[in-house]
Structure 1
Amino acid sequence: MNTAIVTIPLNNDHCEQIIDIILPIQQIEFNVPVTLETQPDLLDIETNYHKTGGNFWGAAHNDQIIGTIGLIAIGNNAAALRKMFVRKEYRGKEFGTALLLLNTLIDYCRQNQITDIYLGTVDVLTTAHRFYERNGFTRIDKANLPPSFPLMGIDTMFYHLHLSN
């Protein structure tokens, strides 16, 4: 039995598992007013993430996906971090799931000459804000996002990370 948490690339074969992680966290745990219909990217990971030059990963434990993170390449060596969610029972420093996912994404960015990572989030996800800030992200105004950044209507806070060599 494998007890280590590992990251694996995800594709359209994993859409149902991805949705089963993300929607309950958004809707039930945090009462974020979002539906599957407002997130069509979850139904076609390959078109919305892979074909942009980005990717989508899962954190897996004992062959079960326990977390997700996605990257949409938006041009000019920039990308949007999307869909970073971890099941409640796998959160925290003792598991390191979120950091493992973020480091996987950052490694991919470095290998693919992506130097700027942007993300949007909602104000109720305060633990996520602290996580991003601890890991080098700086809060920015919406006006400072690149024009190609794919806005989600519910996002109220925005972050940026510049990767230096």
Structure 2
Amino acid sequence: MSKDILVQEYSSNYQAHVLDLILHIQQVEYNISITEEDQPDLFVIDDYYQNGTGNFWIALNNEEVIGTISLLDIGEDQVALRKMFVHKNYRGQTYKTASLLLHTALTWARKQQLHAIYLGTTPQFLAAHRFYEKNGFSSISPGELPERFPVLEVDKKFYKYVIN
């Protein structure tokens, strides 16, 4: 296994691999009862995420999709961080895949001159909570979310990152 992780913008030839990675993490690792039908955005990633100030990236190791992250344009120079997933073998300090993905998204957000990034997550993703907090995200109440923030049924914990 190589430690060479490449983060690049999503292209549709990776669609099936992205779907497989995300569903496996949601359903198998975290036992969340969510299906591909519950996530129609995963079938139109380029149309849904890659417009306005939004984008979608994948992390690759030897052409295998090992991670994803996206920013969804929600207007008023704000985005929602969505679909941040990393294959279990690539989590942690050895590969720093999550950090590479987040750095890519934050760099993009700064170049787009965005003001804030919001995200929702599930209570089960405790390691994700620590990761976001360590990287400058602040916990907020649901009432502090922008009106156009897409709250998912599984989202119960919310964060905000202010871009300087």
Same fold at TM > 0.5: yes
Closer, same or farther in 2 for the Cα pair 1:83/1:163, shift >3 Å?
same
> What does the per-residue CA deviation read over 1:83-136, in whole Å, with 9 as the maximum and x for residues that have no partner?
000000000012110000000000000000112000000000000000000000
Paired residues of 1:118 and 1:145 also in contact (CA < 8 A): yes
The aligned residue for residue 154 of structure 1 is 154
Q: Aligned partners of 1:132, 1:149: CA distance in 2, in Å?
A: 18
The aligned residue for residue 35 of structure 1 is 35
DSSP-derived class of the 1:51 partner: coil
| Counterpart AA for 2:138 | T
Deviation at residue 47 of structure 1 after TM alignment:
1.2
DSSP-derived class of the 1:32 partner: coil
Deviation at residue 28 of structure 1 after TM alignment:
0.7
> What does the per-residue CA deviation read over 1:5-63, in whole Å, with 9 as the maximum and x for residues that have no partner?
11011033221110011001001100112111111100100111012431100111112
Closer, same or farther in 2 for the Cα pair 1:32/1:52, shift >3 Å?
farther
Q: Aligned partners of 2:140, 2:12: CA distance in 1, in Å?
A: 32
Paired residues of 1:56 and 1:68 also in contact (CA < 8 A): yes
Q: Aligned partners of 1:156, 1:2: CA distance in 2, in Å?
A: 36
Q: Aligned partners of 1:56, 1:85: CA distance in 2, in Å?
A: 12
Q: Aligned partners of 1:69, 1:50: CA distance in 2, in Å?
A: 12
Matches within 5 A, 1:129-140: 129-140=129-140
The aligned residue for residue 60 of structure 1 is 60
TM-score scaled by length of structure 1: 0.95
Where structure 1 has 5 or more consecutive residues not aligned to the other structure, the ranges are none
Q: Aligned partners of 1:17, 1:29: CA distance in 2, in Å?
A: 17
Q: Aligned partners of 1:96, 1:111: CA distance in 2, in Å?
A: 23
Paired residues of 2:117 and 2:162 also in contact (CA < 8 A): yes
RMSD (Å), alpha carbons: 1.3
Paired residues of 1:49 and 1:73 also in contact (CA < 8 A): yes
Q: Aligned partners of 2:143, 2:21: CA distance in 1, in Å?
A: 31
Matches within 5 A, 1:1-165: 3-164=3-164
Matched residues, number: 164
Percent identity between matched residues is: 44
| Counterpart AA for 1:11 | S
Q: Aligned partners of 1:49, 1:3: CA distance in 2, in Å?
A: 28
Paired residues of 1:66 and 1:90 also in contact (CA < 8 A): yes
